[in-house]
Chains A and B, each alone.
Chain A
Amino acid sequence: MKFWLFMDKLDRRWLFLLIGLSVIIPSITNLRFPVTTTPPTLNLWNFVDSLKYTKKPLIIICDYSPSTSPELQPMAHALFRHALEADIPVILYGGLYTEGFGLARIAEETVLEEMNFHKANGDSIVYGKDYVFLPFVPGGLAVIAGMGEDFIGTFRVDARGDSLKLMPMMDNVRRLEDIGLIVDIAGSAVSRTWMVYAGTRYGTPVGVGTTAVSAAEYYTFLQTRQFVGMLGGMKGAAEYEELNAKRLNIEVRKQAGIAMASQNFVHLLIIFMVILGNISFFVLKRNRDRRS
């Protein structure tokens, strides 16, 4: 009984400490777990990969803020790497909120630095030919509508202030229907806005990378194929990194893959604590009932 009373009164700070250790120890000891690929990730990877045949651009949208970047930034890196490695034209875009611009820039810098060392097929990446980087333009929904009607009119210049008309990659991009796929990586419901307007109104395929919190909500749109695929939380990012490594031999530090060991340990701890907490609750309840 003493044990259950101790559990009942356990200060939650001890749990925080246990969770912290469950994250740190697997990270330091380099523990790795196999990552199995789920259909939503595989569908998205295959769709992105198929763009190398059509040469239609892929838009990667970083519609998130630093608060959700631990989950979402690895997705942006993995998608950008995949597209550059497979010679798929990429339009990198910070999205409809100001915070995303800086995170898209981090993705650009990180992946380009890696690619300078790792690109398997040799040739260098040329800005304006292989990828362009869009600036922030306010207006939310109006920006999507603008892209749907007149892409260059909406983004007259790129993020560096140069005219988009002068970029060879943009020669065949007049409106959203010229885009092969939009992947919106977002920590909010903004992906639904892209799905409703870019997908339904302009017929552009849309994929989504989302925080684990939102993932459950998006399964309904996967089932109806309104999203071509989904990366759900850190697990989705780890799966995409794994596919890149297996199919394209991209050997870089797997940011999300490393994190999955800690993720597994914390989940085991939480399951254990939930079971222990429930047993404690029922034992103490039965004890109280007996006494009364």
Chain B
Amino acid sequence: MHLSTSIWVWIAAFLTLTIYSFLYKDNPLYRFAEHVFVGASVGWSIAIVWHMTAIPYIGIPLRDAVIQRNWPGFIYVAIPTLLGSLYFFRFFPKQSWLARWPIAVMMGYYCGISISPSIEANIFAQVQGTILTGFNPTSLNSWWALLLLIGVVSTLFYFFFSLKHEGFVGKTSKLGIWFVMIAFGASFGYTVMARVSLLIGRIQFLLHDWLGILR
């Protein structure tokens, strides 16, 4: 057993234990740790954005442009900076409409850049992956592909609400429910693993980094 000599490890261990104290019941120590976590996250983000974005991408280029009297370069940085700054007008109710300008630019940009690749990646490639498989009865993969096709089609039937779920549509949609349940089961199994992994991570920190029990 080699106890850590770092004050930060001790603080992290204390905060970890206070967070886990919630498992017994809600208490002020837990709420303290929760607030520290949120505050630290926001503080970290602001510091990163300030040092890695505001200064190198706005401050230094504007300063250099002024020193070198490079006015096109100055405008090239100043216009997007001003446009972005309009977001802050959200805090002033009478002028808050100004914040719509950067939102409009962002919306337009994201829509323009997203539509084509999103359709290609999420629809075309997925549809191809579902149906375009050569069928070979001796190959197990072909049977899996067929099962996949049946699963996708029957699941789509379940989510098709323009027709009453009776007769063929009803039976197919019921089959779809089974596929949906299996998918949820797989997701749930993975979710359990994820949650347990987080616990293991913290326990490893306590036993290895803090107490030095684990190698």
Measured CB to CB, the residues of A under 8 A from B are 13, 16, 19-20, 23-24, 27-28, 30, 65, 67-71, 98-99, 101-102, 135-138, 141-142, 145, 156-157, 159, 161, 192, 195-197, 199-201, 211-213, 215-217, 220, 223-224, 226, 232-235, 253, 255, 258-259, 262-263, 266-267, 270
Question: Chain B at the A interface: mostly helix, strand, loop or mixed?
Answer: helix
Contact of B48 with A136 in the complex, beta carbons under 8 Å: yes
Residues of B within 8 A of A69 (CB): 201
Closest to B152 in A: A220
Contact of A267 with B192 in the complex, beta carbons under 8 Å: yes
Interface membership of B72, Cβ < 8 A:
no
Write out, one digit per residue, whether chain B residues 13-53 have a CB within 8 A of any chain A CB (1) or not (0): 00000000001100000000000000001001100110011
Residues of B within 8 A of A270 (CB): 192
Give the contact stretch, choosing among B90-98, B121-129, B155-163, B167-175.
B121-129
Interface membership of B198, Cβ < 8 A:
yes
State in angstroms the CA–CA spacing of A128 and B56 once bound together: 20
Q: B56, B128, B196, B207: which contacts A263 (Cβ < 8 A)?
A: B196
Contact of A70 with B113 in the complex, beta carbons under 8 Å: no
Q: List 17 A-B contacts (CB under 8 A).
A: A13-B23, A23-B203, A27-B203, A27-B207, A30-B215, A70-B197, A70-B200, A71-B194, A136-B49, A142-B109, A211-B197, A213-B190, A223-B129, A226-B125, A233-B193, A233-B197, A267-B196
- Sorting the interface of chain B by its residue count into under 10, 10 to 19, 20 to 34 or 35 or more gives 35 or more
Residues of B within 8 A of A156 (CB): 56
Q: A67, A98, A213: which contacts B45 (Cβ < 8 A)?
A: A98
How close is B207's CB to chain A, nearest CB, in angstroms?
A: 6
Write out, one digit per residue, whether chain B residues 184-215 have a CB within 8 A of any chain A CB (1) or not (0): 00110011111011111111100100000111
Known: A136-B53, A137-B53, A270-B192. A19 touches B199 (CB 8 A): yes
Contact of B48 with A98 in the complex, beta carbons under 8 Å: yes
Q: A101, A200, A232: which contacts B48 (Cβ < 8 A)?
A: A101
Residues of A within 8 A of B24 (CB): 13
Contact of B214 with A258 in the complex, beta carbons under 8 Å: yes
Interface membership of B57, Cβ < 8 A:
yes
Interface membership of B114, Cβ < 8 A:
yes
How close is A193's CB to chain B, nearest CB, in angstroms?
A: 9
State in angstroms the CA–CA spacing of A259 and B203 once bound together: 10
Contact of B191 with A212 in the complex, beta carbons under 8 Å: yes
State in angstroms the CA–CA spacing of A16 and B29 once bound together: 19
Residues of A within 8 A of B204 (CB): 27, 70, 255, 258-259
Contact of B48 with A70 in the complex, beta carbons under 8 Å: no
Interface membership of B183, Cβ < 8 A:
yes
Residues of B within 8 A of A211 (CB): 194, 197
Give the number of residue pairs across the A-B interface with Cβ within 8 Å: 142
State in angstroms the CA–CA spacing of A24 and B213 once bound together: 11
Closest to A24 in B: B203
Residues of B within 8 A of A24 (CB): 203, 207
State in angstroms the CA–CA spacing of A215 and B49 once bound together: 30
State in angstroms the CA–CA spacing of A232 and B44 once bound together: 28
Which of B24, B48, B113, B215 is most buried by chain A, counting CB atoms within 10 A of its CB? B48
How close is B11's CB to chain A, nearest CB, in angstroms?
A: 14
Contact of A263 with B200 in the complex, beta carbons under 8 Å: yes
Known: A28-B207, A69-B201. A98 touches B186 (CB 8 A): no
Contact of B191 with A213 in the complex, beta carbons under 8 Å: yes
Closest 6 CB pairs of A and B: A70-B201, A224-B129, A212-B194, A212-B193, A98-B45, A212-B190
Interface membership of B118, Cβ < 8 A:
yes
Contact of A16 with B23 in the complex, beta carbons under 8 Å: yes
State in angstroms the CA–CA spacing of A267 and B49 once bound together: 41
Contact of B117 with A235 in the complex, beta carbons under 8 Å: no
How close is B206's CB to chain A, nearest CB, in angstroms?
A: 9
Known: A16-B23, A141-B110. A259 touches B118 (CB 8 A): no
Known: A98-B48, A224-B125, A226-B121. A70 touches B202 (CB 8 A): yes
How close is A264's CB to chain B, nearest CB, in angstroms?
A: 10
Contact of B190 with A215 in the complex, beta carbons under 8 Å: yes
Known: A137-B52, A213-B191, A233-B190. A71 touches B198 (CB 8 A): yes
State in angstroms the CA–CA spacing of A217 and B61 once bound together: 43
Known: A16-B23, A212-B190. 20 other contacts (CB 8 A): A23-B196, A28-B213, A30-B215, A65-B41, A70-B197, A71-B201, A141-B114, A145-B113, A196-B122, A200-B125, A212-B194, A212-B197, A215-B190, A216-B183, A216-B186, A223-B148, A234-B193, A263-B197, A266-B199, A266-B200
